[in-house]
């Protein structure tokens, strides 16, 4: 996060206002300082901004967000041809042919061991899938859809008499991890700045190999 802040130079008693731009994670806003001060005839000044303001009673900070959206990324490297996820290592690799392009630490479903069998089991699928689409309006910052369930997955859930799972993605956190590991319902999660990078690098149709 970047933050430029300051207070007005000392001057006559009254209301002073100072405005600075603020931004973090694709959000931008205006930070406004209101400084109420006056001379009450006593030596009780406060040191501020390298100067002196007498009788300071209150400082109010207001932030008006002008808009929050994921930062667009531009990728100019070799096309990513495969995504390989190793669940036990909590690792996701992006390959261009045989060349490793990027490696990420990932979080999985809340019950990560084993292949996903049905909706709500908290497992992350295992097998060969593909990226179906990009979702710029994800509740998890940005996301890439994975083609789970396939026909085998549907047959497995049906044999168990349970509904098959759906909506498996590679996505960001958007603060929903609350500092936990393996916190998703079965998705593969990375940090927000990482999904911004992955989102730009990976095209729909890219194969996804998820190993135990």
Q: Mean pLDDT of successive 10-residue segments in the chain (212 residues)?
A: 36 37 40 38 40 40 45 86 98 98 98 96 97 96 97 96 96 93 97 96 98 98
Contact (Cβ atoms closer than 8 angstroms) between residue 120 and residue 97: no
Whole-number pLDDT of residue 84: 98
Using a pLDDT cut of 70, give the percent of the chain over it: 66
Whole-number pLDDT of residue 110: 97
User: pLDDT per residue over 30-66, tens digit each?
Assistant: 333 333 443 344 344 433 344 443 443 333 333 334 4
Whole-number pLDDT of residue 73: 84
* β-strands 169-171, 207-211 pairing: unpaired
Whole-number pLDDT of residue 68: 55
- As a whole number, the mean pLDDT across the chain is 77
Contact (Cβ atoms closer than 8 angstroms) between residue 97 and residue 206: no
* β-strands 82-86, 27-37 pairing: unpaired
15's tokens: 């209301």
Whole-number pLDDT of residue 71: 65
- Indicate left, alpha or beta for 124 from its phi (over 0: left) and psi (-120 to 50: alpha): beta
- Indicate left, alpha or beta for 161 from its phi (over 0: left) and psi (-120 to 50: alpha): left
Q: Which residues of 2-20 are buried (b: 16+ CB within 10 A; e: fewer)?
A: eeeeebbebeeeeebeeee
Contact (Cβ atoms closer than 8 angstroms) between residue 47 and residue 58: no
């Amino acid at each position: 996060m970047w933050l430029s802040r300051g207070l007005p130079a000392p001057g006559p008693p009254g209301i002073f206002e100072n405005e600075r731009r603020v931004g973090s994670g694709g959000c931008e806003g205006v930070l406004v300082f209101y400084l109420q001060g006056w001379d009450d005839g006593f030596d009780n000044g406060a040191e501020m901004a390298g100067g002196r303001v007498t009788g300071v009673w209150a400082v109010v900070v207001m932030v008006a967000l002008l808009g929050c959206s994921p930062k667009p990324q531009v990728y100019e490297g070799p096309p990513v041809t495969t995504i390989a996820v190793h669940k036990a290592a909590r690792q996701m690799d992006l390959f261009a042919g045989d060349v490793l392009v990027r490696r990420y630490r990932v979080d999985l479903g809340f019950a990560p061991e084993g292949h996903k069998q049905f909706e709500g089991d908290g497992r992350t699928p295992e097998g060969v899938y593909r990226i179906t689409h990009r979702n710029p309006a994800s509740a998890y910052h940005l996301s890439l859809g994975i083609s789970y369930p396939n026909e085998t997955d549907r047959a497995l859930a049906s044999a168990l008499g349970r509904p098959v799972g759906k909506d498996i993605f590679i996505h960001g956190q958007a603060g929903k991890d609350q500092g936990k590991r393996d916190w998703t319902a079965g998705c593969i999660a990375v940090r927000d700045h990482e999904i911004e990078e992955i989102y730009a690098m990976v095209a729909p149709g890219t194969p996804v190999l998820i190993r135990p």
